[in-house]
Amino acid sequence: MPTQDHMKQALQTYVDAFNAGDAQAIIALYAADAVVEDPVGNPPITGHAAIGEFYTNAIAGGAKLSLDAPIRGSHGDRAAMAFTVDVPGMKIRAIDVMTFDSDGKIARMEAHWGPDDIET
């Protein structure tokens, strides 16, 4: 099981890579068969190719991330972060929960946000 420090650092790397426009660095954090559900309730995005396309499009759209609180670890295989996605013309307040596999890669990402979390 990955350590709390490893999981927190992975999420910080995720934020930093996103803001640097480095989709490849984000993809490298994920297991090959990982699943992204953003937001929860949308059809899952599975595997590096589809996840890469998702992040490439988000970065190309001008989105930037800013943490709203410190990244949180757990006694298990999950870590979470509350943050704001600044997209030109709107902000989305979200909480992402990442589940890690035994190799320390993100196996699942669940983004929790809904219509009430969008500011225009």
Considering the candidates 14, 30, 55, 96, report the single residue annotated as catalytic.
14
Q: Which residue of the set 30, 38, 55, 96 is catalytic?
A: 38
Q: Give yes or no: 30 in active site.
A: no
85-112 core/surface letters (b: 16 or more CB in 10 A; e: else): beeeeeebbbbbbbbbbeebbbbbbbbb
Residues 6+ away with beta carbon under 8 Å from 42? none
Annotated catalytic residue 14: yes
Neighbours of 67 (CB within 10 A): 13
Residues forming the active site: 14, 38
